[in-house]
Copies of this chain bind each other. A is one copy, B any other.
Amino acid sequence: MATIHDLPTPSLILDAALLEQNLAAMAKALPGERLRPHVKAHKCSELARRQRDAGHANFCCATVREMEVMAEAGLGEDLLLANEVLDTRRLAALDARVTVAIDSDETLDAAVSGGVREVLVDVNVGLPRCGCSPEDAGRLADRARKQGLEVRGVMGYEGHIVGIADRAERERRCAESMELLKRAHADVGGDVISAGGTGTYDCNPIATEIQAGSYALMDTAYRELGHPFVQAVWLWLTVISVSDAYAVADGGLKSLGMDHGNPTTEAGKVWFCSDEHLTFAPEPKLAVGDRIRVIPAHIDPTLAYHERVYVVEGEEVVDEWPIDMRGW
């Protein structure tokens, strides 16, 4: 039976028990359709299948590729492309219920020309990214309906506040953002108010569904928020070189999302990453051939580097899931 000691390195390792713990905690807090898991956080249809098994049949995607793979995996009951897209040519062919976010006349027209039938009006609630101004949402909805689209409601991502550590402040700012979304929804209509993320999953007063993704595998940044989710994925490396002051392991910039900075490891203090190396000061000393667990600073762009994740129960390797939604 294979154990983690038999695996090639660098490898991503997913602890099945910790994943189940995260999925169960979220399914309890936001059962069924109250959660629309965002697959961009993991890009893995097998993991999405576990989220569906936990009761959530509706999903968020960030790319057309993610939509395609989810549909092919039989997980297309209700797929929301929670992103603006102009190249809609591949959406009409999907064997899935497809809803697309729109925030402009151009993205509305692209939805129509791509044969999309359902949309959400994406509203800017404070994050400088996509989303129309709240005042423009009603006009867009009217125009969409005139063009034959079903407008299911609104979405708005309060991404600028999901990381605020102070809970009271996070709640206050979230309520402010959601007030904007509520007003837009009054103009737009529809059943859906889609918003939120792992940072605000339990304090969004307005949303009918929460678009959380990171909760399943977790991020070091979200650890500070006091949520019941734990880091379930790590990078598994082999020490390939040792000197007096430091050791070198066999994974680096091409196996780690680096926008949140260096990874961390219980094995010592990280000095720096190179393309395929991690230089760190081991504590205690290590030998060539020892293996270490490295915690990526940002999970989403880390998984996007890997072809697969190995699933373990304790040290036993029980499965191997392709990260099959990579690319575009």
Contact = CB atoms under 8 A, between A and B. Distances in A.
B328 A10 contact: yes
B9 A241 contact: no
B275 A300 contact: yes
A305 B9 CA distance: 18
Given A288-B86, A289-B86, A241 B129 contact: yes
Interface string A1-38: 00000001110000000000000000000000000000
A133 B257 contact: no
Contact of A246 (B62, B128, B274): B128
B304 A305 contact: yes
Contacts of A248: 84, 129-130
A254 B273 CA distance: 18
A230 interface: no
A177 to B, nearest CB: 16
A220 interface: no
A11 to B, nearest CB: 8
Given A8-B328, A300-B254, A301-B275, A107 B288 contact: yes
Given A258-B257, A289-B86, A327-B307, A62 B242 contact: no
A237 to B, nearest CB: 11
A307 B305 CA distance: 11
A9 B301 contact: no
A41 to B, nearest CB: 9
Interface residues of A, number: 56
A259 B240 contact: no
B86 A238 contact: yes
Nearest to A262: B259
Nearest to A278: B129
Nearest to A253: B301
Interface string A234-261: 0000101111011010100111011100
The complex is assembled from copies of this chain, and their number is 2
A200 interface: no
B130 A289 contact: no
Given A129-B274, A131-B241, A246-B128, A301 B254 contact: yes
A257 B253 contact: yes
A104 interface: yes
A83 interface: yes
B83 A130 contact: no
A243 to B, nearest CB: 7
Contacts of A277: 129-130
A240 B289 contact: no
Interface string A279-316: 10000000111000000001011001111000000000
A106 B288 contact: yes
A253 B261 CA distance: 13
13 contacts: A9-B87, A9-B328, A63-B276, A83-B250, A85-B240, A86-B289, A104-B288, A128-B246, A130-B241, A130-B248, A133-B243, A159-B274, A275-B301
